[in-house]
Amino acid sequence: MSVNINLFTASQSSPAAAPPPRNPAGTVPCPSCGGDVAADEAHAGWQSCPYCEKRLQIRAWPVIRNSTNAAPAMPDQATCFFHPDKAFQACCQRCGRFVCALCDLQLGAEHVCPTCFERGRVDSVLNGSKAEWRHRDVLYDSIAVTIGWGWILVWPVLVVAFAAAIILHVKYRKAPRSYLIPRRGWRFWWAYVGFSWIPLLIAASIYVRWLARRH
């Protein structure tokens, strides 16, 4: 049994995930009827599909054609590590392998081979490495907030929840800043506020009783 953790898979499994049909340049298939609708460049607002009258807002850009043909290697030329018949295009800046135009992956100014790219994607989850490779983050600070305030619903778990919040804070205190979209660390402290309000109420009730007894 395989478990898929990719949250985008559900949206991809629709028929729309299939390779797009070829439409004439500058046109977009209508999501309702599939007819070709020309994007109105002059008027950037709503327009109607000429076939089904559906209201659409379209932005279309010219396609940048990228060559997928790696040059074949000459007899005395350096070749790709993965394709021995293809000519050397770049050198992987991680492992040093020669790669052809097909295998040359660009991360900003850096060139990497497919193997290093996959390794980087896996490592990015564990170590929080290069931003381009990150594809998943776990929001430990939000977990702490849920624990900090959620214990009220199941109050016997108070002690365990408090310990869990402290462990999360200590272990992942730097995590929010390393997310692809960095967050501040205040949520860990907000979790403690959730723990503090019941003791405060107890103290307040004791104080009120003490005041009532005095008078």
- Name the segment binding other proteins (CB under 8 A); options: 75-83, 158-166, 181-189, 197-205: 181-189
For other proteins, the binding residue among 81, 88, 98, 133 (CB under 8 A) is: 133
Of the pair 22, 215, the CB lying nearest other proteins is at: 22
- Min dist. Cβ of residue 6 to other proteins (A): 6
Contacts of 102 (CB under 8 A, 6+ apart): 68, 70, 80, 82, 83, 86
| Rg over CA atoms, the chain | 28
For other proteins, the binding residue among 1, 22, 126, 174 (CB under 8 A) is: 22
For other proteins, the binding residue among 80, 92, 105, 161 (CB under 8 A) is: 105
- Min dist. Cβ of residue 215 to other proteins (A): 36
For other proteins, the binding residue among 1, 3, 42, 66 (CB under 8 A) is: 66
* H or E stretch at 119: helix 114-127
213 is an interface residue for other proteins by CB under 8 A = no
64 is an interface residue for other proteins by CB under 8 A = yes
7 is an interface residue for other proteins by CB under 8 A = yes
Q: What angle in degrees, to the nearest 10, is found between the helix axes of 158-171 and 186-214? A: 140
Contact 131/119 with Cβ under 8 angstroms?
Answer: no
For other proteins, the binding residue among 38, 58, 87, 91 (CB under 8 A) is: 58
Task: Please choose, from the candidates 95, 179, 183, the residue with its C-alpha nearest in 3D space to the C-alpha of residue 131.
Answer: 179
> What is the spatial distance between Cα 183 and Cα 194, in angstroms, rounded to a whole number?
20
Q: Name the residue with tokens 């599939």.
A: 34
> What is the spatial distance between Cα 85 and Cα 100, in angstroms, rounded to a whole number?
9
Binding site for other proteins (CB under 8 A): 5-8, 11-12, 14, 16-20, 22-26, 28, 31-32, 39, 44-45, 54-70, 101-108, 110, 114, 117, 131-140, 142-143, 146, 177, 179-182, 184
